[in-house]
Amino acid sequence: MGKGSVRGRKSAETRRREWPFVVYLWAVGLGFGGYLIVGRLILASRPHPIHWLAGAVGAAVGVPIGWLWYRWRGDVLF
């Protein structure tokens, strides 16, 4: 009876694993870069919400790039 509950707990722990650190690095890095470079420098004459949109698009692009990096190179913290 005790083994069944331990098995159920392990499967629940494996389902809620967090993302690797490298995914967060890429998302934050490209989000910040998109906001500064694209939003503030290139689109400086556009309305303010465009700046935030550029940052959000950069972060959204950073997530799959981070997962690809993790798949090919592993995490940055070992």
The predicted-structure confidence for 9-61, as pLDDT tens digits, reads as follows 555 555 567 889 999 999 999 999 999 998 888 888 877 788 889 999 999 99
User: Between 56 and 76, where is the model more confident?
Assistant: 56
Selection from 78, 27, 77 nearest residue 57 by Cα: 27
Asked whether residue 54 is assigned to any structural domain, the reply reads: yes
pTM: 0.70
Asked whether residue 15 is assigned to any structural domain, the reply reads: no
- What's residue 74's pLDDT? 84
CA separation for the pair 20, 64 (Å, rounded) = 12
- What's residue 44's pLDDT? 83
Q: Which domain holds residue 37?
A: 20-73
- What's residue 32's pLDDT? 95
Asked whether residue 10 is assigned to any structural domain, the reply reads: no
CA separation for the pair 72, 39 (Å, rounded) = 30
Residue 23 · residue 75 · CB < 8 Å: no
Cβ neighbours around 52 below 10 Å, total: 13
Asked whether residue 14 is assigned to any structural domain, the reply reads: no
Q: How many domains does the chain have?
A: 1
